[in-house]
Amino acid sequence: MDGAPVGVLERERHEEALSVRVPRAGATLDVLVENMGGVNYGPRIGAPKGLLGPVTFDGTALHGWDCHPLALEGAGAVPFAPAADSPSDAGPALHRGTFEVGTPADTFLSLPGWTKGQAWINGFHLGRYWNRGPQRTLYVPAPVLRPGTNDVVLLELQATTEPRVQLTDTPDLGPVNP
């Protein structure tokens, strides 16, 4: 609401409504619909996703929506401003950083303190991350890296408590079931 996060609805929690307090007349409500993919097993296979009905305020449907896809193939070309000093940057937000590489080699990107989003290195989409796991690292193939300065871009959908990333030579794919 007016640029501040007010809540998240999640399919796995079977949520269908979110109460929002409107702070003033003329306030702007932005809705981000994330494509987490479809259910491919069990009783919810083929279940619809996204905004599935009217968005209402006090029981009255809201009209005049604008819909804008978020083109992420050019995430590295976004003009970035210096980060705020607050370590608890609320999302959704794009974050950019750089790191140095001597000799490129396969590695893994670890995102402790980040919640949920997508990651790119040098414009190459590594994939999605989510602190719920089970996977805790994303594979970074050596050809994605270059000697010298490299860029990392993260689309954080919720918030980060520590705006840093780590590169490690060991994958963390979560618990292994015997």
Out of 69, 101, 124, a domain closes at 69
- Quote the pLDDT of residue 71: 73
Query: Is residue 178 very low, low, confident or very high in pLDDT (cuts 50, 70, 90)?
Result: low
Q: pLDDT (tens digit, 9 = 90+) per residue, 65-100? A: 788 777 777 666 666 766 665 444 566 888 999 999
- Quote the pLDDT of residue 99: 96
d(CA 7, CA 19): 8
For the chain, what is the mean pLDDT?
84
Q: Tell me: do 85 and 113 sit in the same domain.
A: yes
Q: pLDDT above 90 covers what percent of the chain?
A: 38
114 or 30, which is more confident: 114
In terms of residues, how long is the chain? 178
Establish if 106 belongs to a structural domain.
yes
Question: What's the burial of 159, exposed, middle or buried (CB within 10 Å: 0-12/13-18/19+)?
Answer: middle
Q: Which two tokens stand for residue 156?
A: 């954080």
d(CA 99, CA 140): 14
The stretch 35-52 carries a mean pLDDT of 78
- Quote the pLDDT of residue 112: 94
The angle formed by the CA atoms of residues 32, 71 and 66, to the nearest 5 degrees, is 50
Q: Tell me: do 24 and 65 sit in the same domain.
A: yes
Contact 129, 91 (CB under 8 A): no
Q: Tell me: do 127 and 163 sit in the same domain.
A: yes
> What is the chain's alpha carbon radius of gyration, rounded to the nearest angstrom?
19
Establish if 174 belongs to a structural domain.
no
- Quote the pLDDT of residue 133: 85
- Quote the pLDDT of residue 77: 64
Partnered with residue 110 across adjacent β-strands are: 137, 166
Structural domain of residue 113, as residue ranges? Answer: 75-168
Out of 69, 93, 112, a domain closes at 69
Q: Tell me: do 15 and 65 sit in the same domain.
A: yes
Q: Tell me: do 123 and 157 sit in the same domain.
A: yes
Give the single-character DSSP code of 12: G
SS3 76: helix
Token pair 């079931």 is found at: 177
Please determine, for residue 171, whether its predicted confidence score (pLDDT) is greater than 80: yes
Is the model's pTM score more than 0.85? no
Q: Tell me: do 92 and 111 sit in the same domain.
A: yes
